[in-house]
Amino acid sequence: MYKASASERIEVLNYMKDTFQSDLRRDISLGLTSAQKVIPSKYFYDARGSRLFEEICSLPEYYQTRTELSILKRSSAHIMRNFREMDIVELGSGGNLKVRTLLDACCRTSHAGICYVPVDVSESALVESSIQLRDFYPELKILGIVADFMKNIENIPAGRDSLFVFFGSTIGNFYLMDRVGLLKSVAARMGPDSRFLLGIDMIKPTGILERAYNDSRGVTAEFNKNILNVLNRELNACFDLSHFDHMAFYNADKEQVEMHLRANRNILVDIERLGLQVPMEKGETIHTEICGKFSRKSAAAMAEEAGLRISRWFTDPKGWFSLVELARMDRM
Ligand code: AVJ
């Protein structure tokens, strides 16, 4: 665990319990014996998966990352107008490019009154980006929280007025119930004047959505199939990646892009550490991800269900991506 003296302005608290193996076993036993087979998308992100995702973010077809950053750049002065000195709590912090845009836009002379609170499951990624930020902003204080905010939100300090941020439309990866659950648990930690800046990808013509998940270089296909490498390594499974095809399409009824891995022949996969044999017929799929897409209406409904309301709306000229500012329902 990373320890730093107060003079270094970084403190890191690690709340992670090492339940990776037991979670994985439970999720995969359940997921691969269901009628529609499923592997939860959080298992994409081993070292290689994280690298592939970084690569996806700079693909020409994958507009999300650069569109969100362009909104931030264009609107950050506006977003941070009236920003009092308070904590900035970032869920799933990863890199720090986006939060830097916000920090640059506020408190032009000093960041002494601000505490940046990144929350992430990866301690190494969190420490690395915290050190970079500390060197960038000579007065900024940083309190890193290593935790899974979907499971252990109570590890995030509550009650103070803060700006919560959750970028990247990662909220779209969760099922509807979990989306509202997350918003509710954040809402419960918001002080009366707290705000919550949430990145969401918008519904747009199907062709554009589907190209973003079927890039011409096949990086998304590699990213999708890599989840089988994770199972091969962690569970001694014997998935042959060439027996699967990448599949991603927009499901308009559910307003989500779905990713699957489709067996291109009849197979029987042995998963040694689970003592499980999984038969698959040619054409059958393993569902690996949902990427929810939003409209202004569905975003407002989701916020409302969580006791939040949309106070401001920031978007790009095409309206492809949005940063939604949420406030507690009981505040103007
Ligand atoms: C990390 C959830 C924003 O849903 O677009 C990218 C993950 N999957 N390409 C998304 C992803 C396939 C991504 N998010």
Separation of alpha carbons 249 and 268, rounded Å: 26
Does ligand 1 have an atom closer than 6 angstroms to the CB of 289? Answer: yes
Ligand 1 centroid – CA 291 distance (Å):
6
**Residue 109 confidence (pLDDT):** 61
Does ligand 1 have an atom closer than 6 angstroms to the CB of 68? Answer: no
Specify the long-range contacts of residues 273-282, CB closer than 8 Å, at least 24 apart.
273/25, 273/234, 273/235, 273/236, 273/237, 274/25, 274/28, 274/29, 274/235, 276/29, 276/32, 276/33, 278/32, 278/33, 278/37, 280/37
User: What share of the chain in percent tops pLDDT 90?
Assistant: 79
pLDDT at 9 over 70: yes
**Residue 107 confidence (pLDDT):** 67
**Residue 271 confidence (pLDDT):** 98
Could you tell me whether strands 285-292 and 10-14 are parallel, antiparallel, or unpaired per DSSP bridges? unpaired
Q: 10 has which bridge partners?
A: 142
Separation of alpha carbons 262 and 280, rounded Å: 9
pLDDT at 255 over 80: yes
Question: Is the separation of the CB atoms in 192 and 225 below 8 Å?
Answer: no
Separation of alpha carbons 228 and 241, rounded Å: 7
Ligand 1: residue whose CA is nearest its atom 13: 170
User: What share of the chain in percent tops pLDDT 70?
Assistant: 96
Ligand 1 centroid – CA 139 distance (Å):
34
Does ligand 1 have an atom closer than 6 angstroms to the CB of 56? Answer: yes
pTM above 0.85, yes or no: yes
Ligand 1: residue whose CA is nearest its atom 5: 291
* Nearest atom of ligand 1 to the alpha carbon of 64: 5
| pLDDT tens digit sequence for 194-205 | 999 999 999 999
Separation of alpha carbons 204 and 180, rounded Å: 23
Ligand 1 centroid – CA 289 distance (Å):
8
Q: Best mutation site among 65, 170, 291, 321 for ligand 1, i.e. most ligand atoms within 8 A of its Cβ? A: 291
Ligand 1 centroid – CA 259 distance (Å):
10
Ligand 1 centroid – CA 212 distance (Å):
9
Q: Best mutation site among 57, 171, 209, 289 for ligand 1, i.e. most ligand atoms within 8 A of its Cβ? A: 289
Lowest mean pLDDT across 62-66, 95-99, 165-169, 233-237: 95-99
CA distances from 214 to 31, 92, 327 (A): 24, 25, 36
pLDDT at 100 over 60: yes
pLDDT at 5 over 60: no
Burial label, 248 (beta-carbon count in 10 A; 0-12, 13-18, 19+): buried
Does ligand 1 have an atom closer than 6 angstroms to the CB of 41? Answer: no
| pLDDT tens digit sequence for 159-188 | 778 999 999 999 999 999 999 999 999 999
Does ligand 1 have an atom closer than 6 angstroms to the CB of 169? Answer: yes
- To the nearest 10 degrees (0 to 180), the angle between helices 97-105 and 123-136 is 30
Does ligand 1 have an atom closer than 6 angstroms to the CB of 72? Answer: no
| pLDDT tens digit sequence for 16-71 | 888 899 999 999 999 999 999 999 999 999 999 999 999 999 999 999 999 999 99
Lowest mean pLDDT across 24-38, 79-93, 221-235, 315-329: 79-93
* Nearest atom of ligand 1 to the alpha carbon of 57: 6
| pLDDT tens digit sequence for 126-135 | 999 999 999 9
What tokens were used for 234?
């962690």
Ligand 1 centroid – CA 127 distance (Å):
24
